[in-house]
Structure 1
């Protein structure tokens, strides 16, 4: 079995394609023959920070789609030949204020085969291509929980999404517009701003501009902050009194100075969010099917070209999702 493995060296230098032994599912498990997989910022974090040299070799990757090619004893929800998408959220079944302590995210999708609990696969929506299905998990689930469970989005809201371009941000835009909300986005890239407008954004502004001036003083009901310290206080300034900011990203810094007096006088709500439960995953799949939404695809690579894909993601050159053919 071909797989992209991280071992022996830190960072990208520890990545290599290896041939591994084929394994078979146990009771309650299934084996998926993967066709396409999605690259996430989480994979960068795993390679650069989480996976230590003292840890056993790790097959990276959490998004993927393929065909069931073997099932363990007692599996009833799927059968051999079913086309499925992987839900990477382990041991977080029901919607809750926060994930349980035992919550984990699946690793191992950057391989020809993956064994996982049968409860962690869902049938692929028929209208999606394999390229679209393979990138459909971590990003839209993160976006769905941030917007719906935490942000309580509704059609009358004005929503700001700083840093449009990432997979999560493009899903945030698509989901919010599907609900009927008014959506504003920011980016340093003119091309990304133009693409956001094509996707339905009501206004796209240059991140380097004075946001208050660019928005003509208009205030937001909800800001989904997925950039980090570089934009957090600018985002906070765009909230109306009593508005809500939901944060889950720190790629541009994770330490923020906050003026508490401004914050409590503004009656603001600050909420954290990460990933989502299996219940939210099912809701998210139903939502995209109902609205016939498709992921925004940036570029697909053969798995052997993993270095190019990782470099593109690390430089934030992408608009939407990057994926691999297995």
Structure 2
């Protein structure tokens, strides 16, 4: 089969090549991939910036397709079903935190940017009927991360004022959509007025361009501060986010793309009784709840652009340029 593998000897960092599938294990299924979506971790692997990367591994964590073969211990009713794949492996029994064995599909194990993928049957979930394969492929990793941030840690409720930073990325897009569906008053930030316009079209209550030095004051004036902020950047933005929280508010962050905060306004945190909460992806229970919620609410991922598999390098270049609004999808 054809697979998109990490190839650090190639100028592009990736190569489409023939890859042999191993023998199907008794607990595994073989899925014909119809579409796969990119995540930033795929691009970081391509750039050699992700830990423990291995040349020759098929990239890709998100995928949707059809079950073509099942192992001898797998229920044969899975055959022919349209599925999405849970990329979170070995979360463990503790809902509060992942186990030390936790891994994400696509590195160090072969991922979804291929004609086929073989995974444990426990990683399958039936594709919501209202989603195309391209839309369904956009859901797993980002959708799960956002679901845990919004509901498990954020405890979002109707009329709650929340801020989602960096709208345009996959997790931020889902977090905004989940909040809107839950009846919250959702605001977003972005450095692009065009992306803010897209957010408004999705139904957010307002948006702020973080390149405007007055955006925090504008946000506080409009909302009296946020009960919840969901962020992935941290770095120097951290102090602004702390100022934008109302007393008793919570900041949930799932990344630190701008690095560690240069300082912590500890007095503001303890005096306003703020909570700073880290999060990452989610458990199997979170994944099942996420897919059910998406199906019940009829939520459709924002798909930025769909590329043919033969043009996968172009898809990676678009992600590297940061031009996307929503998920970048590769169609098989």
Same fold by TM-score, threshold 0.5 exceeded?
yes
What's the CA shift string for 1:141-168, capped at 9, x where partnerless?
A: 0000001111111113100111111111
Moved more, 90-99 or 290-299: 90-99
Alignment correspondent of 2:183: 180
What's the CA shift string for 1:100-151, capped at 9, x where partnerless?
A: 1111111111110111100001111111111101111000100000011111
| TM-score (structure 1 length as normaliser) | 0.95
Alignment correspondent of 1:166: 169
2:20 matched to 1:21? yes
Secondary structure (helix, strand or coil) at the match of 1:215 reads helix
Alignment correspondent of 2:144: 141
Given that residues 6 and 45 in structure 2 are in contact (C-alpha distance below 8 angstroms), is that contact kept between their aligned partners in structure 1?
Answer: no
Do the aligned partners of residues 208 and 51 (structure 1) sit closer, same or farther apart at CA in structure 2, a change above 3 Å counting? closer
2:214 matched to 1:215? no
Structure 1 unpaired stretches of 5+ = none
2-side partners of 1:56 and 1:204: how far apart? Answer: 41
Secondary structure (helix, strand or coil) at the match of 2:139 reads coil
Alignment size in residue pairs: 324
Given that residues 173 and 201 in structure 1 are in contact (C-alpha distance below 8 angstroms), is that contact kept between their aligned partners in structure 2?
Answer: yes
2:255 matched to 1:238? no
Alignment correspondent of 2:6: 6
Secondary structure (helix, strand or coil) at the match of 2:149 reads helix
1-side partners of 2:70 and 2:177: how far apart? Answer: 35
Given that residues 92 and 103 in structure 1 are in contact (C-alpha distance below 8 angstroms), is that contact kept between their aligned partners in structure 2?
Answer: yes
CA positional deviation for 1:50: 2.4
Given that residues 95 and 280 in structure 1 are in contact (C-alpha distance below 8 angstroms), is that contact kept between their aligned partners in structure 2?
Answer: no
CA positional deviation for 1:176: 0.2
Residue from 220, 226, 230 that aligns with 1:224: 230
Given that residues 77 and 118 in structure 1 are in contact (C-alpha distance below 8 angstroms), is that contact kept between their aligned partners in structure 2?
Answer: no
CA positional deviation for 1:86: 0.4
Moved more, 271-280 or 78-87: 78-87
2-side partners of 1:279 and 1:216: how far apart? Answer: 35
Residue from 194, 197, 200 that aligns with 2:197: 194
| TM-score (structure 2 length as normaliser) | 0.93
Alignment correspondent of 2:273: 267
2-side partners of 1:5 and 1:157: how far apart? Answer: 44
Please, what is the CA RMSD of the aligned residues? Answer: 1.7
CA positional deviation for 1:78: 4.4
2-side partners of 1:77 and 1:155: how far apart? Answer: 42
Residue from 286, 295, 299 that aligns with 2:292: 286
